[in-house]
Amino acid sequence: MKSISEWRRDLTSRLKPVATDLAAYESYRLLGHIFGYGPTELTLRSSTLVADEQAEKLERLVARRLTGMPLAYVLGRAYFRTLELLCDSRALIPRPESEDLVEIAEQCLDTLPPSAGRVVVDLGTGSGNIGLTVAHERSDVFVIGTDLDSQALELAEENRRHLGLQDRFVLVRGDTLTMFPATPVIDVIVTNPPYIALDDPYVEQSVREYEPKMAVFAGQTGLEVIERFVTQAESCLKPSGWIVSEIGYNQADQIRALFAGRPAWRNLSIHRDLAGIERVLAVQRQL
């Protein structure tokens, strides 16, 4: 039998072909998953021997990862801000860049007059990571998560029960805002929509092979979904309400042009992510 530290070194070496610079991190995640330990406890218990049964489980996980399957799908778990979420191929993997959506949506909520009944729509909720996080962090909101994909909604429902947020997060099947009344009822629309063009050559191979295409690709330009919901939002978003949307790495100028001829909107800003890429749109409905 090998110790945890020996397994960590072995896994780091074996995972480099698929994990590259993240191989050491992934070795910690795999060992932590087997033992139920965090990185600190793994370090403190580095001399603990890994039993044969645990080693067999590790090998099964490693074999799946070495096929190129994303680590989050291998483990069935993903972290998003303060939450641990169930994660599998029914929905897009929650990513750190999308955490900015939650922070900016909450900042937009803070610009509105205080109210106990704010309505937030998480359009294209996927696993529910964005909407559930907003509901978890803000007791003053009611969140509606929508998605056209019934399998994604099943996963979001499992996460809703997992987090105990059934009272302030509901799920509705649909991919547009036309399901809402043509009257202003929504305070904030937050979304990580499909925004990648079908022929984009920079999409990672693991994304093309493993993640649901419906959640990734928008059409020939990548802007089709965004253009559609912006038009629809003009009727169902309250005056001074906000759209907060993730956008593609090269779409900022096109987004600015999209809103330039629309008098229904004001206070447009595009926020950069940690890599300096213009990543999150925030725009406010006119009074």
Whether residue 287 has pLDDT greater than 80: no
Count structural domains, the chain: 2
Question: Does the residue 82 lie in any domain?
Answer: no
Tell me which residue has tokens 């690709």: 217
| Residue 43 banded pLDDT, cuts 50, 70, 90 | confident
pLDDT tens for residues 165-210? 999 999 999 878 988 888 899 999 999 999 999 998 889 889 999 9
Amino acid (1-letter code) at residue 41: E
pLDDT at 129: 98
Alpha carbon distance 286, 242 (integer Å): 10
Q: How far is CA 223 from CA 38, 48, 236, 250, in A?
A: 40, 52, 21, 11
Q: Is residue 268 in some structural domain?
A: yes
- Contact status, residue 77 vs residue 220, Cβ threshold 8 Å: no
Return the pLDDT at 117.
85
For residue 270, being part of any structural domain is answered with yes
Residues 248, 253, 258: CA angle, nearest 5 degrees: 95
Assess whether 112 and 246 both reside in one domain: yes
List the single range of 68-72, 149-153, 204-208 with lowest mean pLDDT.
204-208
The predicted-structure confidence for 111-132, as pLDDT tens digits, reads as follows 998 887 899 999 999 999 999 9
Rounded distance between C-alpha atoms, residue 188 and residue 242, angstroms: 5
Domain assignment of residue 56, yes or no: yes
Same domain, 31 and 153: no
Q: Specify the pTM.
A: 0.93
Query: Is residue 84 one of the residues assigned to a domain?
Result: no
